[in-house]
Every structure is written in C-alpha cells, then in structure tokens.
C-alpha cells in the first residue's frame, strides 16, 4: 500500500509542478498593473480558502469532499490559460490558493519542494505588488499571515 501511496503522491507532484510552470509563465506575461490586481485577487482567494472546512478543496464541487485533493487546481489552471485577462487572473489566484493549502503540510519530499517553489512564486508576486509605495497591497506584502 505504501508503494501505491508514493506513486500517487509522485504523480500529483509532477502534475502540480507542470501547472506551476504554466502559472508562472502566465504571471510573467501580465503587465505590472495587472500583477497588482492579481495580488489583491490572490489575497482574497487565500482568505476565502482559509475559511473553508477543507482549504485544499476550495473551488471544488461538493461531491469531491472526501477525496485527497479536489479540482480547484485544475479549474484554476484552465482559467489561467484563458484568453480573457480577468478570467486568467482569477484562475491564477485560485490555483495559488488551492495549491498552497494542498502542499502546505505535505508528507512527501516532492510536494514539499513544490511548496517551496510555490512560496517563491508568491514572494515574487508580493514584491511586484509592493513596488509602489501608495499600493494598497503593500500592507499585505509585509504581514506574516500572507507568508504562512
């Protein structure tokens, strides 16, 4: 059974790593103003996911409640590939929130590495958003809860 669990965890880590590369590419393609908006959207998505009973299942249909992971990352990834800029930003924010909660206390090394890469991407987003002194995201970028 342990072998099956390891194989499932490894395949999930590979899938999330591929999606993270796509998310990073989509984020880098956004202009600076859109990145600031993305930081606000991500902050809202993190807050919404944190209030859920199962934050890693945020954005998933209710019937997925008892599965080890939901469809939030897949939904966010599909939206992030949209031609519509608003849909793209909402998809990126959803993916970041769900992937963060899914990998936060991961028992496997691959998912822990993915979580560190995800934190790096989130740090870059916060740094871009906080680059302007009068930016409303600047207080969020310096709080401890956003990095936890």
pTM: 0.80
Could you tell me the CA-to-CA distances from 146 to 13, 55, 69, 106, 122 in Å, in that order?
23, 15, 22, 19, 9
Residue 85 is part of which domain span?
Answer: 2-147
Question: Position of tokens 């992971």?
Answer: 69
Q: What is the pLDDT at residue 93?
A: 94
Question: What's the number of domains the chain is made of?
Answer: 1
Average pLDDT over residues 3-19: 88
Confidence band, pLDDT 50/70/90 cuts, at residue 67: low
Q: How far apart are CA 92 and CA 69, in angstroms?
A: 18
Coil, helix or strand for 132?
coil
- 103-121: per-residue pLDDT in tens? 898 888 998 999 999 999 9
Tokens of 135: 């930016």
How far CA 45 is from CA of 5, 97, 108, in Å, comes to: 29, 6, 25
CA distance 126 to 123: 5
Residue 29 CB contacts under 8 Å (≥ 6 apart), including other chains: none
Nearest Cα neighbor of 92 from 72, 111, 112 is 72
More confident residue, 62 or 106: 106
Burial tier of 63 (Cβ tally within 10 Å: 0-12, 13-18, 19+): exposed
């Amino acid at each position: 059974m342990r072998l099956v669990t390891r194989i499932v965890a490894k395949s999930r880590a590979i899938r999330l790593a591929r999606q993270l590369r796509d998310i990073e590419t989509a984020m880098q393609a956004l202009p600076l103003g859109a990145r600031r908006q993305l930081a606000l959207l991500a902050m809202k998505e993190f807050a919404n996911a944190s209030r859920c009973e199962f934050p890693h299942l945020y954005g998933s249909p209710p019937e997925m409640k008892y599965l080890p992971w939901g469809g939030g990352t897949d939904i966010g990834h599909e939206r992030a590939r949209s031609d519509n800029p608003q849909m793209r930003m909402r998809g990126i924010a959803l993916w970041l929130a769900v992937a963060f909660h899914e990998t936060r206390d991961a028992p496997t090394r691959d998912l822990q590495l993915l979580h560190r890469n995800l934190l790096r991407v989130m740090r870059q987003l916060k740094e871009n958003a906080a680059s302007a002194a009068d930016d409303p995201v600047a207080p969020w970028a310096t709080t401890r809860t956003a990095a936890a």
